[in-house]
Amino acid sequence: MKALQTSMATLGAAVTTVIASTAGFAQTCEPETFQALGIDTLSLISVEPVAATDEIPVDHCRVLADLDQRTGIDGVEYAVGFELRLPEGWNGRFVHQFNGGNDGRIVPAVGNLLGGSDRDTALSRNYAVVSSNAGHRIDATPEAGVSASATFGLDPEARQDYGYGAVAKLHPVALQMVEGYYGSASEYVYGVGSSNGGRHALVAAARMPDAFDGLLAGYPGLNLPRAAIQHAWDVQAFLSLSSSLPEALSEADLKVVADAVTAACDGLDGLEDGIIADVDACQASFDIGTVACESGSSNACLPAEKVEVLRKIHQGPVTSDGEAVYSSWPWDAGIAAPGWRAWKLEGSNEADRFMPRIVVLGGPSLGYVFSTPPVEVGATADDVLAFLRGFDIDQGAEAIFATAEGFDEAAMTFMTPPDVDDPDLRAFQEAGGRLMMFHGLSDPVFSETDTATWYSALDNNHGGEASAFSRYYRVPGMVHGRGGPATDHFDMFSALVAWVEEGEEPAEIVATAPAGNPLTGEHGEMTRPLCPYPVVARYKDGDPQHHGSFTCD
């Protein structure tokens, strides 16, 4: 439907070969098929048939290639490196897989559908899938060290590619290659990604409104440069408690908070089940001050300085004038989950002195990629920690909006969907696009409140009718991606496809907490409806393990 408008005539001999070949991929999975397309910015690296395995149960053709090779102003060789996988039993559809982190590596193009299964992928459902490094490679030199995934920020075009350029360059080429291979255009075109990949999806909705029939964005890093300032804010707050981040707040401390939030809020949705579905009522009724130790208190409690740090990080960064730089964060039950701690306080890598991911991933991108001019933050986790400790929030809040000689676009321009504070997706809607989004309420990396604020602004700008083309779902208890006391397994992609292709409007999405999740105890798996924002799942009656006992109203 949204396939590239490539005339069949320009596809030449390759098309003829494909059409003539009813056997399919074996005869055509060869470099000549793609060379015949005459794409002069394309450098093929390999084209090979791949036999089905247990992990990837479809025979397919795998193309590895570079697009737009060039030398950056930093003397580094850049290209949009990508992998395209073309299944033998193609279903006529295409998925652009958007990846997470700082990009920089070509994640296998299997098309993870964010549903919780590594095997139920777009490729296994016979979609053609493309995945890229977003225009740069991880810098594996010892000099880069822990900053390996961020040094590309020294080159302005690599920054732009990471922000939006790589998707814009690759998307039409990948569609042309799919069409060249199969001999017909993709009937439906999707984009799927989470975190930074969710950001890619929302940027694509705004910048490429005609390009996708359906976009699925999980826990998007909508305001990634602003969220990176939160990392410095958090680190500074934690360091006020201890010079060792893992020791600033212990697992037991976080459990005190999780238990207190649960005690205050769990029943607000009609059932005490460990899930705080009525998150807004919870924010109004929970006060972190209640966990502070009274003198002589024997209950589980925290010293006042820890309570203040928790209050501060949930409030989010503010300038010395009291202006909010990013967003506040919801109190939720997932704060004691390992996935919360790993990002904020304690990583698992001894070589990084167990520094959390906000330091080893977030710190380098804040300096190299989001600050203009770029700041080289050093190669060791201790260097990055020192950078974050000394980070000036006032100056940093300006640096993400700044331009400089040779760096014409600010980070807030190349990273976020245009008009991120005043969003409008009318062009996407008018082109027939459908968008589905979800975000965990205990995400420690990107604030769910920020996503809800963005979605409310979108709805407002669409006259309260954003649901005509979009849906947003909150996932109580879920941290960054899967994990936490949450029903974190669900198939939103199928709902998106049904909406795009059959016009079936998505309503509640059934989500599962598999056995072994902290929620399920000795019970087997449990299910809940995820409700379209701002609706909350409330207990009606019946089996508390089953989603049918709840309503979205």
Phi first, then psi: what are they for 190, rounded to 5°? Answer: -120, 160
Q: Do 371 and 399 meet the contact criterion of CB atoms below 8 Å apart? A: yes
Is 443 annotated as catalytic? yes
φ/ψ of 364, rounded to 5, equals -60, -40
The site for ligand BEZ, by CB under 6 A, has a size of 11
Where does this chain touch ligand BEZ (CB under 6 A) — which range of 79-87, 298-306, 308-316, 359-367? 359-367
Assigned token pair, 323? 């202006």
Residue 200 is among the residues annotated as catalytic for this protein? no
From 480, 491, 547, 549, the catalytic residue: 480
The Cα–Cα gap between 450 and 281 comes to: 17
Comparing CB distances to ligand BEZ, the nearer of 362 and 506 is: 362
Binding to ligand BEZ in span 78-137, by CB under 6 A? 100-102
Token duo for residue 36: 């015949």
Smallest gap from Cβ 315 to ligand BEZ, in A, equals: 20
Does a cis peptide bond (omega within 30 degrees of 0) precede residue 373? yes
When asked if residue 396 is in the footprint of ligand BEZ (CB under 6 A), the reply is: no
| CB of 479 closer than 8 Å to CB of 340 | yes
Minimum CB separation from ligand BEZ for residue 445, in Å?
Answer: 5
187 membership: H or E segment, kind and range: none
Least distance CB 436 / ligand BEZ (angstroms):
18
Residue 361 found at the interface with ligand BEZ (CB under 6 A): yes
Q: Could you tell me the two tokens for 168?
A: 């814009």
Site for ligand BEZ in 146-205 (CB under 6 A): 195-196
Return the CA Rg of the chain: 24
Q: Would you say 100 or 433 has its CB closer to ligand BEZ?
A: 100
Of the pair 474, 480, the CB lying nearest ligand BEZ is at: 480
HEC secondary structure over 336-379: HCHHHHHHHCCCCCHHHCCCCHHHHHHHHHHHHHHCCCCCCCCC
- CB nearer to ligand BEZ: give 165 or 440: 440
Question: What is the C-alpha to C-alpha distance for residues 192 and 97, in angstroms, rounded to an integer?
Answer: 5
Active site residue 139: no
Site string for ligand BEZ, 420-459 (x = CB under 6 A): -------------------------x--------------
The first and second tokens of residue 185, run together, are 């255009």
Closer by beta carbon to ligand BEZ, 146 or else 495? 146
Nearer to ligand BEZ, 66 or 103 (CB): 103
Determine the straight-line distance between the first and last CA of the chain, rounded to whole angstroms: 35
> Around 262, how many Cα atoms within 13 Å sit in the side-chain half-sphere?
19
Instruction: Check: CB of residue 146 under 8 Å from CB of residue 381.
Output: yes
Which residue from 180, 362, 476, 506 is in contact with ligand BEZ, where contact means CB under 6 A? 362
Give the range of 119-127, 148-156, 313-321, 361-369 binding ligand BEZ by CB under 6 A.
361-369
Candidate list 124, 132, 194, 195, residue with the active-site label: 195
Within 203-232, the residues that bind ligand BEZ by CB under 6 A are 221, 224
* Residue 162 DSSP symbol: I
Binding site for ligand BEZ (CB under 6 A): 100-102, 195-196, 221, 224, 361-362, 365, 445
- Kindly list the catalytic residues: 195, 443, 480
